[in-house]
Amino acid sequence: MERSFFNAIVGSLLGITSLGSMAVLFAPPGSSGPASSRSEGGWGLLDPVSYENISIFPVVSGASQDTAAFLTLDEGLSNGEVIVSEQGTAGLARTRDGRRAVTPPPYNNGASVNQLVLFNRSKRPLLLLAGELVSGGKQDRIIAKDRIVAPGADPLPLDVFCVEHGRWSNGSQFLASKTIVHPSVREKAAVDQAQTRVWAAVTGGTTASAVPAAPPPGLAGNDLSEVLRREAPTQSYDKIYRSKLVGGSVDEFVEQVQRRFAKATSGLKGEHLVGVVVAYGGEVAWSDIFASSDLFSHYWPKLLRSYAVEALARPTLRETASRDEALEFLHRLNGREIEESEAGVYRWREITEGKLALIEIDALQPRQVTLHRLLLHRTS
């Protein structure tokens, strides 16, 4: 590959190399850049997959960690190894054959909007990501914060946010919804940690403040209040975005993007698809990167749908983000850092710098590995 001397010098200073249709982000030896010990590093970006007002940059890596030892929420709920219930539901702490498995803890004395109870009955650590939806109970909820739940752990008081107004009845257990809320809602859960802001983002569609150059490509003609009145009277997130008025637009959008994405990422040689960087118009806004291609593959269908919902709610802007801007977005932040951990299970950290927020979740057993890295441009 030929490069001018000037570009070679600039590339070495920035840690960026262009390789045909792939740009590689790396940290020079001895640096404290993106490939530090706290992230997978060494990511490459393919050319963007663009449709309407969204551009998705596939993220590839020369290495893919073995993450088979970890269980996801959808898998656990589907096969019965994980149970999520309202507090105060005594009959749920039992095995499949009806025998008592655990004793409900003393806090479990009544249902709570912002706290559920989770049982991990599997033999694998359970990965939870902020914004994952659990459907049922007295109200649909979303996971409030990334975390890992040890196998066979005591019943866990699980922090959640409500995404369904108008219902507080029936049901005690929750089912796998295979849904993760769109970025505007997910941001309010993962970073703001505020119930009122979570619900405002649900009903508002998006918290982005960009001045529209054109109406949104899909939801402009679909008044959310009309959807709520006709098809989602309980103001359920799941029902709103799967309604006939909205869901059809989302499905079509997802189909168009997925077809382009599959073509762009087929035939990779020596590289593993581990994540994406997402831009709306000219704004690079979001990134989800995983430890393995298998883990990314599991989350990709519901992540793509969440990105599509956000795109349909945002204005259609004429600008398109460049790959250089996407590369710059991936640089590690040097700001205020908060860390939480559970000994021998996981470590969670959040770094904020200006309008950017980085959240990483590390598994500590069976070995230390960063399972997921979320980087977002805050809308407020």
User: What number of other Cβ atoms are within 10 A of residue 234's Cβ?
Assistant: 15
Checking if the pLDDT of 106 tops 60, the result is no
Q: Which amino acid is at 27?
A: A
Q: Which residues pair with 112 in a beta bridge?
A: 115
Q: Which residues pair with 127 in a beta bridge?
A: 72, 148
Q: For the chain, give me the number of helices (H) and strands (E)?
A: 9, 20
Give kind and range of the element (H or E) at residue 285: strand 283-290
Q: Which amino acid is at 67?
A: T
Checking if the pLDDT of 24 tops 80, the result is no
pLDDT tier for residue 168 given thresholds of 50, 70 and 90: low
Average pLDDT over every residue of 197-213: 69
Q: Radius of gyration of the chain from Cα atoms? A: 21
Query: 239-264: buried (b, 16+ CB within 10 Å) or exposed (e) per residue?
Result: bbbbbebbbebbeebbeebbeebeeb
Give kind and range of the element (H or E) at residue 97: none
pLDDT one-digit tens code per residue, 322-331: 999 999 999 8
**Crossing angle, helix 244-265 and helix 293-313, to 10 degrees?**
130
User: What number of other Cβ atoms are within 10 A of residue 348's Cβ?
Assistant: 17
Average pLDDT over every residue of 155-169: 82
Average pLDDT over every residue of 33-44: 47
Q: Which amino acid is at 98?
A: G
The gap from C-alpha 318 to its chain's centroid, in whole angstroms, comes to 26
Per-residue pLDDT, 95: 42
Distance (Å) of CA 65 to CA 17, 178, 230: 24, 23, 46
Checking if the pLDDT of 372 tops 90, the result is yes
Contact of 274 with 299, CB cutoff 8 Å? no
Per-residue pLDDT, 99: 37
Per-residue pLDDT, 15: 41
Q: Which amino acid is at 47?
A: D
pLDDT tier for residue 90 given thresholds of 50, 70 and 90: very low
Average pLDDT over every residue of 142-150: 95
Per-residue pLDDT, 366: 86
Round to whole Å and give the CA distance between 334 and 332.
7
Task: Please state whether the predicted TM-score (pTM) of the whole model is above 0.75.
Answer: yes
User: What number of other Cβ atoms are within 10 A of residue 91's Cβ?
Assistant: 10
Q: Which residues pair with 180 in a beta bridge?
A: 132
Whose tokens are 């299970």? That residue is 345
What are the domain boundaries of the chain?
A: 5-62+252-377, 71-248
pLDDT one-digit tens code per residue, 255-305: 999 999 999 999 888 899 999 999 999 999 999 999 999 999 999 999 999
Write the Ramachandran bin of 33: left for phi over 0, alpha for psi from -120 to 50, otherwise beta. Answer: beta
